[in-house]
Amino acid sequence: MLGSMPVRVLDDRHRDRVLTILDSDPVSNVFVSSRVHAVGLDPGRLGAQMWGYIRDGRLSALCYSGANLIPIAADSEAVRAFAERARTQGRRCSSIVGQIEAVTELWELLAPYWGRPRAIRASQPVMATSRPSPVPPDPGVRRVRMEEFDIVYPACVSMFTEEVGVSPNVGDGGALYRARVAELIRAGRSFARIEDGRVVFKAEIGAATPHACQVQGVWVHPDLRGRGLSVGGMAALVDESLRTIAPTVSLYVNDYNARARAAYRRVGFTEVDTFMSVLF
């Protein structure tokens, strides 16, 4: 029993129940689940608060409140409670992201108070596969080595800037982003094809749990786009990720990016959910 407050900040005492909720939808919840699996629920380690919505004395919904605000398993009643807490404390996140129904309602409640966002990605299909790719993998795609950081980092910055519209080097000079890129390389979750000191294709596994992992940062050098390099590259990443990281590989993509969605379908991905993102 969790007391009478409808929304409370959770801690490691609630870890098992939180993971039960997260792992009930391991693909859609992979980002938050990966953080909880790795470090638990202490806000200092998590880098965020985990809010819990209590109904009839039991934890029924979650909201990850950090750099991203992410409602999880939240019906309208829970969304309203999370929105009130978020409105009261003021905006501290750089995005709201998650399943489209909950994020739509959450943003409708917060929009009058939080002002105009930088962008709204209203429909982002979540795609996943649990089978090796039906197309041949690119044999040149492999895990990035730490000594290749200076080769790969500019491609990561280019991808981030294209996708988000703001350079990750703004603000702190890129210190946090550089640390994250390095972390993924050290973890063996950064993949690329590098030719003559130039990144041809690259992508990372940004989140991973025992149940699923999530691809991020898919990028092909601008001079080489339109040649199908992403298909072979993603096939290689999928096959290796299924073999060594998690039994399901997922990603989400903007609905208007027809070329990327077609490439992912060729690799074997199918649509399993829909996200929405509000970017500040």
Overall domain count for the chain: 2
pLDDT in the model for residue 5: 62
The whole-angstrom separation of Cα 49 and Cα 11 is 9
On whether both 69 and 140 belong to a single domain, the answer is: no
Position 48 confidence tier, pLDDT thresholds 50, 70, 90: very high
What CATH number did the domain enclosing 24 receive? 3.40.630
Please report whether residue 195 resides in a domain: yes
Q: Which of the listed residues 115, 148, 167 is the one where a domain comes to its end?
A: 115
pLDDT in the model for residue 14: 95
Please report whether residue 99 resides in a domain: yes
Please report whether residue 2 resides in a domain: no
On whether both 91 and 140 belong to a single domain, the answer is: no
Ordered DSSP codes for 102-128: HHHHHHHHHHHHH---SEEEEEEEEEE
Q: For residue 35, report the phi and psi dihedrals to the nearest 5 degrees.
A: -65, -45
On whether both 143 and 262 belong to a single domain, the answer is: yes
Average pLDDT over residues 222-239: 95
On whether both 33 and 76 belong to a single domain, the answer is: yes
What CATH number did the domain enclosing 227 receive? 3.40.630.30
pLDDT in the model for residue 2: 45
pLDDT in the model for residue 1: 39
pLDDT in the model for residue 3: 45
On whether both 206 and 248 belong to a single domain, the answer is: yes
pLDDT tens for residues 84-134? Answer: 999 999 999 999 999 999 999 999 999 999 989 999 999 999 999 999 999
pLDDT tens for residues 173-220? Answer: 889 999 999 999 999 999 999 999 999 999 999 999 999 999 999 999
Is pTM, for the whole model, over 0.85?
Answer: yes
Please report whether residue 122 resides in a domain: no
On whether both 78 and 110 belong to a single domain, the answer is: yes
On whether both 137 and 65 belong to a single domain, the answer is: no
Q: Which of the listed residues 46, 80, 115 is the one where a domain comes to its end?
A: 115
Contact predicate 12/40, CB 8 Å: yes
Position 163 confidence tier, pLDDT thresholds 50, 70, 90: confident
**Domain around 93:** 7-115
Please report whether residue 240 resides in a domain: yes
Average pLDDT over residues 3-27: 91
Please report whether residue 226 resides in a domain: yes
On whether both 214 and 238 belong to a single domain, the answer is: yes
On whether both 154 and 110 belong to a single domain, the answer is: no
Please report whether residue 120 resides in a domain: no
Position 169 confidence tier, pLDDT thresholds 50, 70, 90: confident
3-state secondary structure of 129: strand
Q: Dig out the tokens for 48 from the structure.
A: 């965020």
Which residue matches tokens 């859609």?
28
Q: Extract the runs of DSSP E, i.e. beta strands, from the chain.
A: 7-9, 49-55, 58-65, 68-72, 95-99, 119-129, 142-143, 190-195, 198-208, 213-220, 249-252, 270-279
Which residue matches tokens 């007391």?
3
pLDDT in the model for residue 9: 96
Q: Which of the listed residues 115, 144, 166 is the one where a domain comes to its end?
A: 115
Please report whether residue 150 resides in a domain: yes
